[in-house]
Chain A
Amino acid sequence: MTARLLALDLRRGPAPLLALAMLGLGGALVLGAPGGCDGRWPDAVLALRDAGWIVFPCVLAAGVWRGGSARRRQLDDAITASPLPAWRRSAIEGGAIAIAGVATFVVLLAALTVTGGCTSGLLAGRPAAAALAGVLALLAAAFTGLALGRFAVTPMAAPLALLATLAVTFVAGGWSGGSTDAMLLFPAVGEDVTPRQLTVRISAGQILWFAGLAVSGWLLASRFPARFRLTRLVPAAAGLAALAALNPGAAG
């Protein structure tokens, strides 16, 4: 039943539109970038991670839109009465968005690897960890967006979340003279970062942070009607603590 519902959500939810938008935007950014990856796979991973500044907010907005759909359609009561547990419904709704995001990430990485001939250092530990952090960031965006959508009372929440995330990424990142340490909280890596700087330690911290954020988002979204519980933020807080512990500079 879960697989059937997931397939239905993948077809009829915002997932196909998201995948299309990500393919277009990510493709324009990554495949259209001058210079390419110079035959090195770590550079390909870095290019794709850097596209996170635009891809992460898109996935988040799709999650917000999906999270608020029950309220917009006035289906809250029907959903509360359904025998499907809320945590499974959230997993399905967030999962469809996450699948669209992650599948597009993998497709773009494969396309860049093949078309750019970026095979030197293929699947090496450091870039593989960075790629995994990018995938988990999309998972976190999908479930955090879903939770935000559950709590948002206005349909304007999706575009506002998208633009706010984008603005925060710009302000926090190296683009506007901000701190590169602050960028560890985001999937985008900043334009001055080289593959060598993206160490396994940094990626491990980001993996834990994004995983914690995803779990918190899922827990917060797993309730009809939405109710805020501080304890559901514990996984995100633990992930943040792990990120700070692994990268002491990020805590300051």
Chain B
Amino acid sequence: MRLVTLHARARRAGEIGWGLLGVAVACWALASFVQDTGALVQVLGPLAVVSLLGFGLGGDDPALERTMPQRWARWRAAELSVCAIAAAVALAPALLQADQHALAALRNLAGLGGLTALGAVALGARLAWLAPTAWAFTGSAVGPRAEDWLAALTWPAEAADATSALVLAALLAVIGAVLHMRHGSRVIPLS
């Protein structure tokens, strides 16, 4: 138990928890009181949640952590599971309020979460938020598109029934999770 507590502290669990609480309240308020909340609930909410959780995918000194004789793949799998549950809980009030965007928001949560995990592998935990932000912004700027192949690329802005968008988001989620479990966050001491 002590190891778990220390690990959670090293992953900034408290700081991220407060951040998620703030995001949950803000998303719920926006979904409740603002008209036309499509983009806010569908894209910004999931993006805010995964951006915060990305900071928990690595500690301050990943190189030092790796010297510990732990089964890191299992720890990272547990980390990702906790992150997925925390993300769903944080967005739940907003999604219950704007349920017409719930499916698209959950798809985006999975896809952007996978991109965050990929970002952590490629850029380190502190810069992991750049990958989902870049894709979400570009997708929102260009999409939604009628062409099927383009709809796959602009998946964050697509409707919930766009199959190609769902497939690419699921693919990114799986690839991100697997790569993060295998490799962990990249070591970038000065970021």
Contact = CB atoms under 8 A, between A and B. Distances in A.
Chains A and B are bound partners? yes
Interface of A: 17, 21, 24-25, 28-29, 32, 54, 58, 72-73, 154-156, 158-160, 162-164, 166-167, 170-171, 175-177
Given A154-B15, A167-B44, A159 B142 contact: no
Q: Is the interface of A mostly helix, strand, loop or mixed?
A: helix
A156 B140 CA distance: 23
Interface residues of B, number: 29
Interface string B112-154: 0000000000000010011001100110111000000000000
Contact of B55 (A156, A175, A177): A156
A83 to B, nearest CB: 23
B51 A159 contact: yes
- The B interface is mostly helix, strand or loop, or mixed, namely helix
Given A21-B134, A73-B190, A156-B15, A176 B36 contact: yes
B34 A166 contact: no
A54 B141 contact: yes
Nearest to B34: A176
Interface of B: 15-16, 19, 26, 30, 34-37, 39-40, 44, 47-48, 51-52, 55, 126, 129-130, 133-134, 137-138, 140-142, 190-191
B141 A170 contact: no
A167 B26 contact: yes
Contacts of A154: 15, 19
B30 A160 contact: no
B109 to A, nearest CB: 15
A29 B142 CA distance: 7
A170 B40 CA distance: 8
- By Cβ-Cβ distance, the 5 closest A-B pairs, closest first, are A159-B51, A177-B35, A159-B129, A29-B141, A163-B48
Given A32-B142, A163-B44, A163-B47, 19 more contacts: A28-B141, A32-B141, A54-B137, A54-B140, A54-B141, A154-B15, A156-B15, A156-B16, A159-B51, A160-B19, A160-B48, A162-B133, A164-B26, A170-B34, A170-B40, A176-B36, A176-B37, A177-B35, A177-B36
